[in-house]
């Protein structure tokens, strides 16, 4: 794709510059042939681009996210000093309210009760506090939040953060902490996870990609500004990142498109 586009662009720029001299020196027939060649190259470029993005567009987005996930540090440390779940939660909610977020507590959505939901324009933060969170919690509560944003609030664009405040996060929950869920053809709605584990002082989330969700998590979950200070970054990778890196060595388009890549 890159080769075809570069060669075509080079030819077109050269042709635009030499077309008057070409017509004067070699006549209208040669100029007409050169013009037809321009048209053919434009059509070829469009066909190649269409073929590429129809075949590889979604996998490119997937691979880009995986690269961010593997390049990120395993975890971050919170700048907040509160050590209990209730104290930490109250600190987060106070900050949200002081930043003009509308905060509703004990919100039930689709059969699941969130400790709080904070909304400000296109930014939405769902908060769940519990002693322990696992993979099932992340998946179930996110499904409820997606239903809330798309069907109840009917937002066309949103940056949503799923914030879990707990004493302990299981390994399978941590493995989903860097998961980003985009919705819509142009990814107008984005969901990001953040897990604050008070027993270790760690916060698990995708923190190396500058986005609105990253900014929200840094400001309210960690209590810091972006870019995140190096002293708040963990120094080690997590086990699931190492396992994912090994698994990605087997990546192929066929399995990805069939939905069987993660089943291996």
Among 91, 71, 72, which residue's Cα sits nearest to residue 81? 91
Asked if residue 61 belongs to a domain, the reply is no
Asked if residue 100 belongs to a domain, the reply is yes
Mark whether 119 and 185 lie in a shared domain. yes
DSSP 69: H
Mark whether 36 and 115 lie in a shared domain. no
Mark whether 8 and 119 lie in a shared domain. no
Asked if residue 143 belongs to a domain, the reply is yes
Domain count for the chain, please give it. 2
Condensed to tens digits (0 to 9), the pLDDT of residues 78-133 reads 999 999 999 999 999 999 999 999 999 999 998 899 999 999 999 999 999 999 99
Mark whether 193 and 104 lie in a shared domain. yes
Asked if residue 240 belongs to a domain, the reply is no
pTM value surpassing 0.85: no
Asked if residue 262 belongs to a domain, the reply is no
The parent domain of residue 126 ranges over: 70-235
**What is the predicted pLDDT for the residue at 22?**
65
Q: Cα separation of 145 and 124, whole Å?
A: 10
Ramachandran class of 211: left when φ > 0, alpha when ψ lies in -120 to 50, beta otherwise: beta
First-to-last CA distance in the chain? 30
**What is the predicted pLDDT for the residue at 170?**
97
Mark whether 122 and 220 lie in a shared domain. yes
Q: Please, where are the H alpha helices in 99-207?
A: 135-147, 171-174
Lowest mean pLDDT among 27-41, 102-116, 159-173: 27-41
């Amino acid at each position: 794709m890159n080769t075809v586009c570069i060669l075509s662009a080079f030819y077109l720029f050269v042709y635009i510059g030499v077309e008057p001299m070409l017509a004067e020196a070699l006549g209208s027939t040669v100029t007409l042939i050169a013009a037809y060649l321009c048209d053919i190259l434009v059509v070829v470029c469009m066909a190649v681009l269409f073929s590429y993005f129809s075949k590889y567009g979604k996998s490119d987005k997937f691979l880009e996210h995986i690269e961010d996930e593997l390049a990120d540090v395993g975890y971050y440390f919170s700048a907040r000093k509160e050590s209990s779940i209730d104290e930490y939660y109250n600190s987060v909610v106070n900050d949200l309210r002081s930043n003009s977020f509308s905060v509703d507590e004990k919100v039930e959505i689709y059969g699941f009760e969130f400790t709080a939901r904070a909304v400000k324009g296109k930014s939405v933060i769902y908060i769940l506090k519990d002693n322990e969170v696992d993979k099932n919690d992340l998946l179930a509560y996110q499904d409820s939040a997606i239903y809330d944003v798309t069907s109840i609030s009917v937002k066309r664009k949103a940056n949503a953060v799923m914030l879990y405040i707990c004493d302990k996060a299981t390994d399978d929950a941590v493995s989903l902490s860097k998961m980003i869920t985009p919705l819509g053809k142009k990814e107008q709605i984005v969901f990001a996870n953040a897990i604050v584990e008070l027993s270790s002082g760690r916060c698990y989330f995708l923190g190396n990609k500058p986005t609105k969700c990253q900014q929200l998590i840094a400001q309210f979950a960690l209590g810091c500004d972006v870019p995140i200070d190096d002293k708040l970054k963990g120094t080690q990778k997590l086990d699931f990142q190492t396992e994912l890196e090994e698994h990605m060595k087997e990546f192929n388009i066929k399995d990805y498109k069939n939905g069987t890549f993660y089943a291996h």
